[in-house]
Chain A
Amino acid sequence: MDVAKIREKLNKTLLMMALILGALLMLFPFFWMLFVAVKAEGHGFKLDFVFAQPLFKNFTAVWTNESFPFSRFFINSLFVATSGSLMTALFCSMGAYVFAKKNFIFKETLFWMLLSTLMIPGMMYMVPQFAIVTKLGWINTYRGMIIPHVANIFGLFLLRQHMETIPDALISSAEIDGASEWQIFKNIIVPLSMPVITTVFLLSFLFQWTNFLWQLVVNTPDSLKLTLPVGLALFRGQYATQWTLLMAASAFSIIPIAVLFLALQRFFIEGLTAGAVKE
C-alpha cells in the first residue's frame, strides 16, 4: 500500500471516531435518562449499577401514581396531539387547495396577512390567547388546548406549494364529469397530496405533543386534561429529588416521539427543511 492510501484510511478512521463521539455526546442525555429510569430507588444520582427490581418498576410506579396519573396524562397527550393534528391537516389542506387552484376576492391580501403573521414569535400570543380562551370559557378543556393552534400557516404554505404542481387538466376533466368541488378535493387533491399531508400531520403532532407553555397556561393544576409535559412539571414540584421516578416519567414523553421520528423520518425531514429551502 502506498502512503496516500494509508493516509486516506487513517483520515476515514479518525472521521468515524469523531462522528461516533459526536453522536454519543448529542444522545447522551437520552441514554442517561433511560439509565437513571431503570435504577433502584435512592440510586438515581449514584454512579453505580444498582437497578430496580423488577427493572421497569419505576415506569409502573409513575404510570399508576394516584395524584399524578401518567397513564391519564399520556392519554390526554395522545388525544390532544392526534385530534389537533387531524384538524390541522384537514383545515390546511382545504385552505391550501383554494390558494393553489382558485381565484377569489382578497386572495392577495389574505396571503400577505398569513405571511406576515408567520414572523410573530409564539410567546407573544400567550396573553391575548389566554384572554380569549378565558372569555370563551375554554379553560381546562380539550378545545381550549387544541383549537387555537390548528391554523398552521406554515402547513398551509407547504401544502399550497405542492398542490400547485397538480395539473389543472385533472381538475377540469373531473369538473366535466360533473364532480363537485368537494369530490374533486377529496378524490383527486387529497390522494395526490398524501405525502405532504402526512408531513403536516406529523409536524403538528410533534408541536402539540411538546407544546408545554400553552397547555400550562390553559389548564389549572387540578385540571383533568393535563398533558405529559405539564403533568411532569407538576410531578417534579413534589418529587424533585426522586430522579429515578422523574426520568421514568420523562421517558413516557420522549420515547413515543423518538419512535415516531425514527419510523417516519423522511416526512419530518422534508417538512422541517422545506421552510429554509424556500428562501
Chain B
Amino acid sequence: MKINSRKTHDNLTAYLFLAPFLVVFFVFLAYPVVYSLVLSLHKVSWTTNLYNVFSDMKYVGVENYIKLLHDSKFWWSLIVTGYYAVLTIPMTVFLGLILAILLNNKLPGVSLFRSAYFLPSVLDILVVGIIWTLIYSPHFGILPKILDSMGFRAFIDKGILANPRTALPGVAIAMVLRGAGFGMILFLSAIQNIPVSVYEAADIDGANAWQKLIFITIPLVKPIILFLVIMGTIGSLNAFTEIYSMTQGGPYVVEFMGGIQGATKVSGYYLFEKWETMNYGYAAAVSYILLVITLGISLVNAKVMRKKH
C-alpha cells in the first residue's frame, strides 16, 4: 500500500513537472501530425465562412492525393528540391571540411577566424537573402558588374537570379556561404578529437598530407558528414525563406510536363503558395507526402552510412 502511494506520488510529481512542456508538445507537435492527415482528406468548401474555415471543411477522401499525382507543379518542385540539395549539401560539407582543416593549424588569430566563419550561420536567412539579392541585381549589383568587367557580359542585363540557369545556384551559393561555418565548427571539433599519435604513425609510414586526409581524417569525421547530409536534406525540404526573399520561385520560364514552371520553386515554397491561396486540404496533402519522403531519406541515409562504416 505504502509503496503504491509512493509510486503514485512520484508519477504525479513527474507529470506536474512535465505538464507545461507536454501540453505544448501534444497540442502543437504531436497532434498536428495526425491533424495534418485529417486535413489532407478535406477541402475548403466554396461557401466557407472566412472566419471559421477549418470548422466547415468538406470531406473528400483521397481526392487531394490523386490530384497531387497529376500535378506537374508538385513533381517539378520535388525535382527543384533535389537539385537544391545536390547544390548545397556537397558544397557545405566540402567548404566546412576545408575551413576546418585550414583552421586546425597553429596560426595567430585562429579563434578570430573561427568566429568570422561561424558568424554568418546565425544570421537571419531572410535578411541574408535580401542582401544577396542586391549583390546579384542586374545593372547595379556588384557581382554582375564584376563579371561584366571580366568579360562575362551575360549577367549585366538580367542579373543572376532572373536567369533560369543561374537562379538556383545563386541561391545555393548564398546559403552555402552562410551555412558552411556551422559545418566547419563540427568538423573542427571532430578533427581535434583525433589523437595526434595516429598522424605520427602515418608520418613514420611516409604518408603525405593528401593520404592522411583521405585515409585518416575523412573516415574519422564520417559521422559529421552523415549529420550534415541529414541536416542538409531536411534543410532542403524545409527551404522556404531563402526562396521567398530572393526569387519568389521564379523565373517562370521552364517547361515541364506541359506547364511553365518556376526555376527555383522548391517544394517548401510550393507548399507555402498552396497555403497562401487557402488550399489548406491540398497543402496538408503536400506536407504529408513531403513528411514521408523526409523520413524515407533519413532512414536510407542512416543505413548507407552505417554500411560504409
Binds B, one of A53-61, A63-71, A98-106, A191-199: A98-106
Report B102-135 CB contacts with A as 1/0, cut-off 8 Å. Answer: 1101011000010111111011111110111011
Query: Contacting A262 at CB < 8 Å: which of B27, B119, B120, B280?
Result: B119
**Distance between Cα atoms of A15 and B20 in the complex (Å):** 51
A276–B134 contact, CB under 8 A? no
Interface residues of B, count at CB 8 A:
90
Given the known interface contacts A47-B145, A117-B29, the answer about A254 and B124 at a Cβ–Cβ threshold of 8 Å is yes
Cβ of A79 under 8 Å from chain B: no
Contact with A along B68-112 (1 / 0, CB 8 A): 000000000000000000000000000000010011010110000
A33 part of interface (Cβ distance < 8 Å): yes
Q: Known A209-B124, A257-B124; judge A32-B54 contact (CB<8 A).
A: no
A86 at interface, CB cutoff 8 A: no
Per the bound structure, the CA–CA distance linking A131 and B32 in Å amounts to 9
Q: Among the listed A19, A117, A124, which residue makes an inter-chain contact with B102, where contact means beta carbons less than 8 Å apart?
A: A19
The answer to whether A273 and B131 touch across the interface, beta carbons within 8 angstroms, is: no
On whether the beta carbons of A212 and B54 are closer than 8 Å, the reply is no
Judge whether B223 and A26 touch: CB under 8 Å: no
| Inter-subunit contact A32/B135 (CB<8 Å) | yes
Task: Name which residue of chain B comes closest to A33, CB basis.
Answer: B131
Closest Cβ neighbor of A217 among chain B residues = B275
Among residues of B, the one whose C-beta sits closest to the C-beta of A131 is B54
Which residues on the B side are within 8 Å of A134 (C-beta)? 53-54
Per the bound structure, the CA–CA distance linking A236 and B142 in Å amounts to 20
In the docked arrangement, what's the CA distance between A213 and B239, Å?
A: 11
Give the total number of A-B pairs whose CB atoms are below 8 A apart. 253
A27 pairs with B137, CB closer than 8 A: no
**Contact pattern, B 267-309, Cβ under 8 Å of A = 1, otherwise 0:** 0100110010000100110011011001100100000000000
**Residues of the B chain whose Cβ atoms lie less than 8 Å from the Cβ of A190:** none
Judged by a CB distance under 8 angstroms, whether B22 is at the interface is yes
A95 touching B291 by the CB < 8 A rule? no
- In the complex, A73 Cα to B145 Cα: how many Å? 34
Rounded to whole angstroms, the CA-CA distance of A268 and B53 in the bound complex is 41
- Report B158-202 CB contacts with A as 1/0, cut-off 8 Å: 000000000000000010010011100110010000000000000
Report A-chain residues with C-beta under 8 Å of the C-beta of B238: 121-123
Select one of A25, A127, A185 contacting B275, CB under 8 A: A127
Q: A123-B287, A123-B290, A126-B272 are in contact. Are A247 and B185 (CB under 8 A)?
A: no
The answer to whether B25 and A114 touch across the interface, beta carbons within 8 angstroms, is yes
Does B224 sit at the interface, judged by CB under 8 A?
Answer: yes
Q: Per-residue CB proximity of A104-127 to B under 8 Å, as 1/0? A: 110000100110010111111111
Which residue of A is nearest B26, CB measured? Answer: A151
**In contact, A128 and B32 (Cβ under 8 angstroms):** yes
Complex: chain A residue closest to B108, CB-CB:
A16
Taking the closest CB of chain B, its distance from the CB of A175, in whole angstroms, is 12
Contact between chains at B227 and A279 (CB < 8 Å)? yes
Q: Which of A127, A232, A247, A277 contacts B287 (CB 8 A)?
A: A127
Question: With A and B bound together, what is the CA distance between A213 and B36 in angstroms?
Answer: 18
Q: Are A19 and B14 in contact (CB under 8 A)?
A: no
Contact B29 A181 (CB under 8 A): no
Contacts A121-B290, A181-B17: A128 and B284 contacting too (C-beta < 8 A)?
Answer: yes
The answer to whether B32 touches A125, judged by C-beta atoms less than 8 angstroms apart, is yes
Q: Would you list 19 pairs from A and B whose C-beta atoms are within 8 A, ordered by A residue?
A: A15-B105, A19-B102, A22-B102, A29-B120, A30-B123, A47-B145, A87-B20, A117-B25, A117-B29, A117-B30, A127-B275, A130-B280, A132-B35, A150-B24, A151-B24, A210-B125, A229-B124, A232-B130, A257-B122
Closest 5 CB pairs of A and B: A45-B140, A128-B32, A104-B14, A151-B24, A95-B21
Residues of A bordering B, CB below 8 Å: 12, 15-16, 18-19, 22-23, 25-30, 32-33, 36, 44-47, 87, 90-92, 94-95, 97-98, 102-105, 110, 113-114, 117, 119-132, 134-135, 147-151, 153, 156, 181, 185, 206, 209-210, 212-213, 217, 228-229, 232-233, 236, 243, 246-247, 250, 253-254, 257-258, 261-262, 265, 268-269, 272-273, 275-277, 279
